[in-house]
Amino acid sequence: MSGVVELQSLPSRPPHLPATLELSGIAHSFGGFKVLSDVNFAVPQGQIVGLIGPNGSGKSTCFNIVSGFLSPKAGRVLLSGRDMAADSIQARTRQGLMRTFQTPKVFERMSVLENVMVGLHKDGRSGILASMLRTPSARRELDRLRNTAEGACRKFGLGKLLDAQTGRLPAGQRRVVELARAYVGAPRLLLLDEPSSGLNTEEIEQLRGWIAMLNSEGMTILLVSHDMGLMTIADTVHALYFGEIIASGPMTAIQADPRVREAYLGG
């Protein structure tokens, strides 16, 4: 019954191990079209690091490389000093990496609670046979997944929507579902790709609070956003332009940087 023991140690407030992400010399191109050339930056443990850049500058491509959807043409991605080149998407997840998507990818025909329960899939053990037979341990495990997921939903203000079909929710709430789903699995490093897009000012304010909360619980965060106001939450911001980091520093300094101004104003 190792499965039961596994889950009993499933933390409601997970202890986060130190995590540092490091991109070194990352280059990528799509069929000869160069998107990233020599990208270097690090995400120190416990920090919120921002990544900005105009449309098409390669931010999402960076995310895809880090999360394992793309393998870079050159360079290395290190998680806590370990090269992840050979790791599948799932293997990266097991090591504590989690990401969201620029266009939220929720499970539309599933309820909000079920969406968040899938966030705990990796912490479960019961397989096909045990589930078919509804063994006591499979049942207990499912109950525990449900309870933990429910807790996460409430934390993100989804308590009243547990049974709502996710595909019927407005864009803002889908983002919240995606965030809760990413959070519930207690990742060490969380990549958020434009979590603020499609949100109104009020929702962005709320999002800011949640990001701060996740960070205070120990999650290291890499944040991509076009919202410069939200970006001030980052400890450090890197500006990506035509596949290269052209400036790094606190948001206030980045905003003042002449090269960044030029890049954004299309000078």
Partner 1 sequence: MNKLRRSLLLLLLVLAWALAPLLLSRHLIDLFVFAGLFTIGGLGVGLLLGQCGIVNLAQALFYGIGAYSSAYVTVQLGLPSLTGFLAGMLASALIAIAVGWPVLRLTGFFLALATLALSLIGNVLFFEWDWLTGGTLGIGGIPKLSIFGFAFDTPERVYYLVWPIAILVLLLADNLVRGRPGLAMRAMRDAAPAAEVLGVDMHRLKTAMFVICAMLGSLAGSLFAHYVSYISVQSFTVERSIAFLLIPVVAGSASVWGIIAGALFVTFIPELLSGFGDIHQVLFGLALVLVVTLLPDGLIGGADRLAQLLKRRMA
Ligand X SMILES: Nc1ncnc2c1ncn2[C@@H]1O[C@H](COP(=O)(O)OP(=O)(O)OP(=O)(O)O)[C@@H](O)[C@H]1O
Interface ranges with partner 1 (CB under 8 A): 67, 69, 89-90, 93-94, 98-99, 101, 105-110, 114, 117-119, 121-122, 124, 126-128, 130-134, 138, 141-142, 145, 178, 181, 185
CA–CA separation, 116 and 110 (whole Å): 10
CA–CA separation, 169 and 173 (whole Å): 6
Task: Tell me which of ligand X, Mg ion, partner 1, none is bound by residue 61, counting a contact when its beta carbon lies within the kind-specific cut-off of 5 to 8 angstroms.
Answer: ligand X
Query: For residue 191, is it left (φ>0), alpha (ψ between -120 and 50) or beta?
Result: beta
Work out whether 69 is an interface residue with ligand X (CB under 6 A): no
Work out whether 58 is an interface residue with ligand X (CB under 6 A): yes
What tokens were used for 31? 């069929």
Work out whether 35 is an interface residue with ligand X (CB under 6 A): yes
User: Smallest distance from the beta carbon of 193 to ligand X, in angstroms?
Assistant: 7
Instruction: Specify the stretch interacting with ligand X by CB under 6 A; choose among 57-65, 91-99, 139-147, 205-213.
Output: 57-65
Q: One-letter amino acid identity for 86?
A: A
* Beta strands 97-99 and 74-79, pairing class: unpaired
Which CB sits closer to ligand X, 14 or 243? Answer: 243
Binding mask 32-71 for Mg ion (x = CB under 5 A): ---------------------------xx-----------
Work out whether 126 is an interface residue with Mg ion (CB under 5 A): no
Closest CA to 145 of 116, 174, 105: 116
Work out whether 59 is an interface residue with ligand X (CB under 6 A): yes
Residues that bind Mg ion (CB under 5 A): 59-60, 102
Positions in the binding site for ligand X (CB under 6 A): 30, 35, 53, 55-61, 102
